[in-house]
Amino acid sequence: MTQDTESSSLLLSAADFREAAPHLEKQAIAHRRHLHRHPELSGEEHETTRYIADRLSRLGIRLLDIDGPGVVAQIDRVPVGGPVVALRADIDALPVPEDDSKPTVSERPGVSHACGHDGHAAILLTVAEWVSSHTDRLRTSVRFIFQSSEEQIPSGAERLVRLGALDEVDHIFGLHVWHEVAKGEVGVVEGPMMASTDDFDITLTGPGGHGAMPQDSIDLIVTAARLVTDLQTIVARKQDPLQPLVITTGHLEAPGNHNVLPSRALLQGTVRALDPDTRDHAQRWITEAADTAAAQSGAGIDLFYQRGTPPVINDPAAAAFVRAAAERHCHDAVVTSIRPVMGGEDFSFYLEQRPGAFVFVGMGGPVSRHAHHTPRFDIDEDVLMTGVELMVGIIDEYGREHG
């Protein structure tokens, strides 16, 4: 490839960025603030969907026919059968009341963008604007996926896969703004990055009774306490210590009283694993532990085990590709290798179907010092342009390699 040809193929050269950055940043911030003021819960993102679809239509971008909230759109620049790269942003908010001392605040009481999905959608909208105005340089088709219901089960990603959102897509990439990665860094993992997210509800039943006469009842509190301990023994003694596994009992309810032994006890918890085999083993071990505890005490038992999102496992080649794209195009960011986290993300459903990678755009610092899913969480809007550079860089490098 000659130097002139290479230069003309660049979607985001240094010169382009310097000239366009103020406008792009203004657009990204405007999109983010609008979406932040109008958050919608998972499965209810109808106004958000209309806002995104309207702006994509104004840009002349083709909207694909996908039922339900969310938007899938595509810019075509190659014949049918040519390379297609997909970029995804989630769009749902959380049932978290927002601290009203922040500069931009939700106008819907009890609902807020407390995980940064407003920023993700703003980044992808801004990328769509840039790409739509530079189609003469585009060497791959680009599919834009604005996905609903990342925060709940059933997963919005799983639904979109079922509806064909990945049909004809060759690779898929996504990002998340992340307060635990420092501002100015892009965090990349080659391989397992985020954990599977499964939940369990264990209900124990038996004859309650008077606290002074425990011999006439089944002490479900003792049984439940033993089971909580046994679940931790799974992590300590059954699981390979080199393969992460988290089993957390987050709720224990046994409605008795000072001198009343309850007739029902409920344990609820979550299970996290980075490895699919570990995930399967954990379900079997928890079932065995629950059955054993019930058999030893004589209690009745009902176990509901809900498998949620699989682990996010980046394709190593795709992760290395993102690293190279970030190093070339993210002018004010440093690319760094980070450790996997035990939080979950339904981007995993896409990665089960297509090679790709998920990365963190760091924003840890004074503005974004509070944890995700909390009332004081906020996005440092300075990092929105890092996300724009990264995603446009991915498109550009993808066209170089596959176009």
By annotation, the residues acting in catalysis are 92, 150
Q: Distance between CA 371 and CA 254 in Å, rounded?
A: 31
By the 8 A CB rule, do 194 and 275 touch?
no
Distance, in Å, from the CA atom of 399 to the CA atom of 395, rounded to the nearest integer, reads: 6
The span from the CA of 121 to the CA of 96, in Å, is 19
In the chain, how long is the greatest CA-to-CA distance?
Answer: 90
213 Cα distance to chain centroid: 50
- DSSP category for residue 311: P
Measured CA to CA, the distance from residue 40 to residue 42 in angstroms comes to 7
245/145 Cα distance (integer angstroms): 31
DSSP string of 234-270, one letter each residue: IIIIIS-TTS-EEEEEEEEE---BTTEE-SEEEEEEE
Count of H-run helices and E-run strands, the chain: 10, 16
Residues in Cβ contact with 60 at an 8 Å cutoff, skipping those fewer than 6 apart: 132
Using DSSP, state whether 75 is helix, strand or coil: strand
**Closest C-alpha among 228, 290, 221, 231 to residue 257:** 221
d(C-alpha 82, C-alpha 76), whole Å:
10
